[in-house]
Amino acid sequence: MEEVLVLVEARLRTALGEPDARAAVTFLGTDRIEVLRFPDRDGDGVVRYATLGMSAHPMTDPTAALADPVKGPRAELVLSVRAGVADTDKVLRTLAVLAAAPQVEGVVVAPGASLDVGDPLWPSAPFSSVLVAEPGGLVEDLELDEPMDPVHFLPLLPMTPNEAAWKRVHGAQELQERWLAHGTDLRDPLRRSVTLD
């Protein structure tokens, strides 16, 4: 477990630079989840938050009779937002809660899924849920020794309540196409809901 997390942190540092802050959260009956904050490195004004600890164990299908301790999907979560616009550093605990969900609730977090925390992602945020996007863009997958599955770094795209409801009806692909068609800045921590007609 520790070896996997050392490799995961090294991959995050290679892709995102040196973190300037980290927080650790431990929930009853779970392993520790850390959240690392990576400051703007490319001059684009974007700060990134990444979980560290979710990939220590493979996610298990809740319908499986036995949990395989080695094989199964592994992932960490990555959130990118514009810096200095809102108090987004308060998202650290929220991300830890989402990263602990596979251990706590026995869910498999995969692209296309919605994760809802029931409260604003950070103070006064217009979002209480996120859409899990496809991996491989910002941080490349981390291959592990067989028979372990690779670690995927899953981008999180904040959704307004209206967008989350629309996504439940029309699907993740349709919502992403709607965002693209309207030129939605998904990194804007104060953005309004995209037009959904």
- Nearest residue to 36 via CA among 86, 75, 74, 91: 91
**Mean residue pLDDT across the chain:** 91
123-to-38, 93, 188 alpha-carbon distances in Å: 20, 12, 14
- Nearest residue to 16 via CA among 140, 130, 109: 140
Asked if residue 170 has pLDDT above 80, the reply is yes
pLDDT value of residue 65: 61
Cis peptide bond upstream of 147, omega within 30: yes
Q: Which long-range contacts (CB under 8 A, 24 or more apart) does 41-45 make?
A: 41/16, 41/17, 45/82, 45/83, 45/84
Digit-coded pLDDT (tens) for 121-155: 999 999 999 999 999 888 999 999 989 899 999 99
Element (H, E) at 116: strand 114-116
Spatial contact of 154 and 178, defined as CB atoms under 8 Å apart: no
pTM: 0.93
